[in-house]
Chain A
Amino acid sequence: MGEVSGLPLLSLLIVIPLLAGALCLFVKAEGARWVALVASFLDLAISAYMWIAFNPDGPQWQFVENWPIGGGVSWAMGIDGIALLLIVLTAFLMVISIGASWRSIEKRVPEYMASFMLMEALMIGAFTAQDLFLFYIFFEGGLIPMYLIIGIWGGAERIKASYKFFLYTFFGSVLMLIAMIYMVSVTGTTSIPALMAYDFPRSAQTWLFLAFLASFAVKLPMWPVHTWLPDAHVQAPTAGSVILAGVLLKLGGYGFVRFSLPMFPEGSLQFLPMMFVLSGVAVVYTSLVALAQTDMKKLIAYSSVAHMAFVTFGLFAMNRQGIEGALMVMLGHGLVSGALFLCVGVIYDRLHTREIARYGGLSDNMPGYALLFMVFTMASVGLPGTSNFVGEFLSLLGTYHASTWGVIAGTTGIILGAAYMLWLYWRICFGTQRNADAAAMPDLSVREWWLLAPIAVAVFWMGIYPESFLKPMRADVGRLQVRLERVAPGGDSKLSPGKPNLKVFDAHEHGAGH
């Protein structure tokens, strides 16, 4: 398949926002808003077209481009089904983010829109890069616009949060860079597809896995290196939080799928117990922390960490259900947490506080808001019929094959998740209206409906007909599974062939017949 239209679509996806970002700097605020919106819609259209044109039974890498730059690197692009869906997610959330910032950002709008456009280009670049160093450039480059977004348009503690975000993630990534240099010097290639099939010596895999883990664990984030996330989320403007939770965190999960698992299978197996323990702790601990929050954004930030633990659970279960589930959690969480941050943004724009206690009984004066917030709350809890159910269920199913204890921790997390999300919803939308100003807030505006309703549709779509999302990545998950076959963990469930007591069974049947 590949280039149906003959156009280098992936490069276009990157170049359009880049040019739009540059253009934003030369126009006034209103112009910048429109430039960014048009560019993000163009990207969404192209990525939607690619989703349709993508051939799930075709070659692994499609829409391939390759132009050598020199010095051993090349502008190598290409996507598989996994990257495809993450690109669609990025383009979708970017349109929403631009819309969410339409009137809530009034300060230095051109620079703001330029930062978002740069962000979009770099994120899509990271998902499409097929050259190791090109990937690193895009992966790390995302730090600069995010640093500026948090630092310029963030809340009161923005400076500290922006430093923390930058230095934490930068520190994680440089170790990965050394590992990449080592890999290239051993194999002599920078091509990611080639490296995905290369078998590194077992002793080297240990170190390579740890170096990549340092980067992806911070990015994802995993407990205990998640502490930058609540700060960054709380201080970032609403749209910044949406992109951070929706796309930036997915880079960590994508990294595990693209690098850690296929490139270092033995290394992954070696650290599997550690990954499960960290995920188990993350899901329970951060859920408990979320329960104790009084700040809405912080609560959702901690819930992100908990949800990301399902990603690591599923991926390191190394079986089809687990990996597919993990990828679905990534997509679903991208939508749902993005939507939840938008919901927080809606009432924050009205009252300028994130204190949960300042709100209450909003279902009276904001019924539309209460409805949509309910949808996303339920999706976050993992109610069947919503996106997160599919992902979390598959991921736990896969984990069960590998570790019973892991599933026990994971399901505990789901229960706690229901607790903190429902409690949050109750405190905000139900109960008595304690504050006159909160009670006087108007319901969703048309613009806000346009932001939240499409996400709600996508959430139901993923929950009711996940096949649209599973289909493009089925073959790729299959390839990954083949790659992992030799190391896939056996599982600790002591299944024994059942010896049903036939007499009792018969008697029961008999009894039922009476």
Chain B
Amino acid sequence: MDRFAPLLPEIILAIGGLVLMMLAAFTGRRGTALVNWLAVALLIAATIALIGPPSHAGPLFDGMVSADLFASFGKAVIFPSAAVAIIAAHGWFERGREHASEYSVLIVFAAVGMAVMVSSTSLVSLYVGLELNSLAGYVLASYDRRDERSAEAGLKYFVLGALASGILLYGISLLYGFTGTTSFTGVAAAFGRGAPSLGLLFGLVFVLSGLAFKASAVPFHMWTPDVYEGAPTPVTTFFASAPKVASVLLAVRVCIEALGPATEAWRQIVICAALLSIFVGAIAAYGQTNIKRLLAYSSINNVGFALIGLAAGDRQGASSVLFYMAVYVVMTVGAFLCVLWMRAEDGEPVETIASLSGLSQRQPGFAAALAIFMFSLAGVPPLFGFWPKLLVFNAAVHAGYVTLAVAGILGAVIGAYYYLKIVKVMYMDEPAAPYRRVREPVQAALVLFAAVIVSPLGYLLIGPLATLTDRAAGSLF
């Protein structure tokens, strides 16, 4: 049994997910609430199970996965945000007479996939984890199947995702073909033997492209705005949080553990993707009128900042990426929970930015929360969103990439404009038609919690979080 102790979180989720699926199938619509809450309980249990062997057991199954602190940190962010995505869906799908309980089961399976992603140390387990997550994601994107936009989002995500998987697989096969191994250490050893051959470089480029697609980094971001806009809002909340963390963390692990000796080769790719993501994310958001689309560009923009930390390529950089993603998830989940509450009088969701007009006079608390998330996403101090940005720039400057940091920070100024625009609409424009009041105490508590974390009180977390991310990053080196 000891062999399986380090996998306890994944086991809980996998077996629990199967049981829940049966439960969902047999109880039908009546069991929706039960299945949802059980799924949340499973995710919380899995998070608690991270304490102990799953955090420091080391390599398992002949180096297929590694139960280390880096993986645990990722899971500790991923599982709770997946749980929030389930809570976010409360009362959402019932409106459309959908069969709602499978939603939470799918999220649990996606969480298993993401857990495998962040702990994989082999190209095979990497791919299995990624696909498990993606398959659940394709279904989730088209969950509102009567809604054309949702169906379109699912199809788009599927077709483009399949393409990206193909690219990734092609890269994996090249790496395997030229190194003769799928384990990250083996690949690293092959790269360590002098200048990499052309085949290896091609493999590297393809693998990184596939990962960039999953993390929606430019130039592989095209699917993001459409999918984020079309998918039901709780699903978008999910897409913008947990899978994003999983793919960025996976990219960090691949770059450092598998491609570590070839840092010079991948760094330029990462720098390009980082700067392009920051600028495209910032500039393309200008004309948006749909808040979900705008937040999609915001998430592209944020991945760019996280990649700046990765470009530093050292322990400090990896640590800053972890810090960044942890705070990013809180901000972005908070923002999406606010978007969930944008409902017209008849209860239908509203997504235009214009409908936020004068919100501060209609619902001051709601407006204040969203304003806090916006300023925080923009990285304006004294909100906590400033600190992770500072850390990634700090890592870049420390590694000698001052120009990169300057370019990134200029992108942050450009990006600040559209976050300000939302605050302007809410605070400075005349009130528009009121929203219908949403009575969701759990969601309200979550929004409040997120707002407190990104408020200046969040700075009290710097100490413990910095220690944790540093140790987690240390397990990669």
- A residues contacting B by CB (< 8 A) are 25, 68-73, 108, 111, 122, 133, 136-138, 140-141, 143-144, 147-148, 151-152, 158-159, 162-163, 166-167, 170-171, 174-175, 177-178, 181-182, 184-185
Contacts and interface: CB of A to CB of B under 8 A. Distances in A.
7 contacts: A72-B466, A108-B361, A152-B428, A167-B416, A171-B413, A175-B406, A182-B402
Contacts of B79: none
Contact of B398 (A137, A147, A185): A185
B405 A181 contact: yes
Choose among B397, B417, B466 the residue with the greatest number of A CB atoms under 10 Å from its CB.
B397
Contacts of B386: 137, 140
A182 B397 CA distance: 6
A158 B381 contact: no
Contacts of B88: none
Interface of B: 360-361, 364, 375, 380-382, 386-387, 390, 393-394, 397-398, 402, 405-406, 409-410, 412-413, 416-417, 420, 423-424, 427-428, 456, 459-460, 462-467
B375 A170 contact: no
Contacts of B464: 70
Contacts of B465: 71
Given A25-B364, A69-B462, A151 B381 contact: no
Choose among B398, B424, B462, B464 the residue with the greatest number of A CB atoms under 10 Å from its CB.
B424
A175 B459 CA distance: 22
B428 A151 contact: yes
Contacts of B382: 122, 137-138, 140-141
B462 A163 contact: no
A414 B459 CA distance: 47
A159 B427 CA distance: 11
Nearest to B361: A108
B428 A70 contact: no
Contacts of A137: 381-382, 386, 456
B463 A69 contact: yes
Contact of A185 (B397, B406, B427): B397
The DSSP consensus for interface residues of chain A is: helix
A443 B204 CA distance: 79
A162 B424 contact: yes
A151 to B, nearest CB: 5
Contact of A144 (B364, B380, B412): B380
B390 A177 contact: yes
B381 A141 contact: yes
A144 B375 contact: yes
B417 A163 contact: yes
4 A-B pairs closest in CB distance: A70-B463, A71-B462, A141-B382, A71-B466
Contacts of A148: 423, 427
B188 to A, nearest CB: 28
Given A178-B409, A182-B402, A159 B428 contact: yes
B454 to A, nearest CB: 13
B394 A167 contact: no
Nearest to B381: A137
A151 B393 contact: no
Contact of A178 (B406, B416, B467): B406
A174 B390 contact: no
Given A71-B463, A137-B456, A171-B410, 4 more contacts: A69-B463, A70-B464, A162-B428, A170-B413
A68 B463 CA distance: 9
Contacts of A177: 390, 393, 409
Contacts of B375: 144
Contacts of A178: 393, 397, 402, 405-406, 409
A68 B416 CA distance: 30
Nearest to B470: A71
A140 B383 CA distance: 10
B466 A70 contact: yes
B371 to A, nearest CB: 9
Nearest to B379: A174
A43 B466 CA distance: 34
A111 B466 contact: no
A302 B181 CA distance: 71
Contact of B462 (A73, A162, A167, A170): A73
B462 A70 contact: yes
Contacts of A167: 413, 416-417, 420
A68 B464 CA distance: 12
B392 to A, nearest CB: 10
A230 to B, nearest CB: 20
